[in-house]
Amino acid sequence: MDDAAALIWLLSQHRYPLELLGVVTVAGNTTVENATNNVLLLLSLLERNDIPVVMGAHKPSNVLLSSTGKLIHGPDGLWFLGAQNPQEVDAVDRKAARFYCDMARTEPGAVVLALGPLTNLAQALRRCPADMANLGRLVVLGGAKFGGNTTPVSEYNFWQDPAAAAEVLQSGLPITLVPMDAFGQFSLSMADVASLQQDGVPAIQFLAPALQAYLGVQLQSGSAAVVPDPVAAMVALDPSLATLHSALVKVLDRPEVARGQSLIALSFAERITLIADDRELSQIADQVFSDPGFDYLAAVGAILQREPDNALVAMDVDAAALYQMFMDDLSQSVSASGAAEHEPSPIQLFLPSVQSR
């Protein structure tokens, strides 16, 4: 649901030059077939059938695909709008890894915006690591430093395919991570959706009933309705909207309750304890007091060099600016102005899309 809102914003906004190179679907909060149908539907509404759509992985790497997303996004991932508007899914290319490899090779420097589980990207990294190294930024929606939205410690995208998340984070690609700590700062109200339904661009007017259902589920158990995916989309086009911190990030790939937990090390102490075990650190502590010539800084420096930081992590976003951009760019009266506010070369973006919490 929120990825649909992100896609509509990306293709409706005029402030950032953008060339959308393709949309790759993946199983997550709905089946990959549903996700593909929904993307085709939205692109048709946006009159952008020129954008390639590729159907990706139909299941996570090594866990079962959860059905719990139906409770938040409806049985089709779009609160019945997708099921009521079937598209020609059978004709869609299904070779997602090959698509990534080809695009990374022919469009070096392109930005990838990953809004769902990272299954497709992990497969592409195994298939063509040299080509994937040509990519520009990889903006990933996923993880959390504090808390979770699926378990007490795990965010959904990482929880649904923790093995793929761990693999991508270890790839050496230039990753910008937008975790729950950041995307949880952006919310919409029922009044906001009613305003967009009244004065929004046609695609968001179409989506509004489903968006209201999505918000309604969240408001039953809380005071705010978080809409994650547009946050990552906006940060992908304008990193200045987020406060980014260099970090070492790991993901737990375990079957128990900690499955998918992301460990985001920002401080010196957090990094050290994420790399070295207590036995090694205890030996260093003993040497500090038993060996007058022991170089403590050199020892801990050597530990840090073993696993350098692997992501820029957005811990805060300019929520007021994000909200204003989202509402303005999807309003017919404002977006009709058309001219881009920024003049650099268009950002080349390809988008793995799936309904994501």
Segment-wise mean pLDDT, segments of 10 residues, the chain, 357 residues: 96 95 96 97 97 97 94 96 96 96 96 97 98 96 97 97 98 98 97 97 97 95 89 98 98 89 97 97 97 96 97 98 97 63 60 52
Q: Report which residue type is found at 178.
A: V
Say what the pLDDT of residue 299 is.
Answer: 97
DSSP 4: H
Say what the pLDDT of residue 222 is.
Answer: 77
Contact 183, 236 (CB under 8 A): no
Structure tokens at 88: 């020609």
Query: Beta strand 175-178 with 311-317: parallel, antiparallel or unpaired?
Result: parallel
DSSP 66: P
How many degrees, rounded to 5, is the angle at CA 158 between CA 68 and CA 247?
155
Residue 233: CB partners within 8 Å, gap ≥ 6?
6, 7, 9, 10, 113, 115
d(CA 129, CA 94): 20
Chain centre distance of CA 94 = 21
Half-sphere exposure of 275 (CA within 13 A, CB side): 22
Contact 230, 186 (CB under 8 A): yes
Contact 123, 54 (CB under 8 A): no
Say what the pLDDT of residue 351 is.
Answer: 67
Cα separation values, 161 from 75, 108, 126, 167, 253, Å:
20, 27, 16, 10, 8
Short-list 225, 184, 207, CA closest to 8: 207
C-alpha dihedral sign at 159, 161, 165, 167: positive
Say what the pLDDT of residue 257 is.
Answer: 85
Q: Which domains does the chain have, with CATH numbers?
A: 2-278+310-353 (3.90.245.10)
Query: Beta strand 242-251 with 262-265: parallel, antiparallel or unpaired?
Result: antiparallel
Short-list 231, 248, 263, CA closest to 115: 231
Structure tokens at 59: 């299941």
Say what the pLDDT of residue 356 is.
Answer: 42
Residue 8: CB partners within 8 Å, gap ≥ 6?
42, 46, 201, 203, 204, 207, 330
The number of residues in the chain equals 357
Say what the pLDDT of residue 256 is.
Answer: 81
Cα separation values, 302 from 250, 292, 295, 298, 318, Å:
19, 19, 11, 6, 36
Say what the pLDDT of residue 254 is.
Answer: 81
Say what the pLDDT of residue 345 is.
Answer: 54
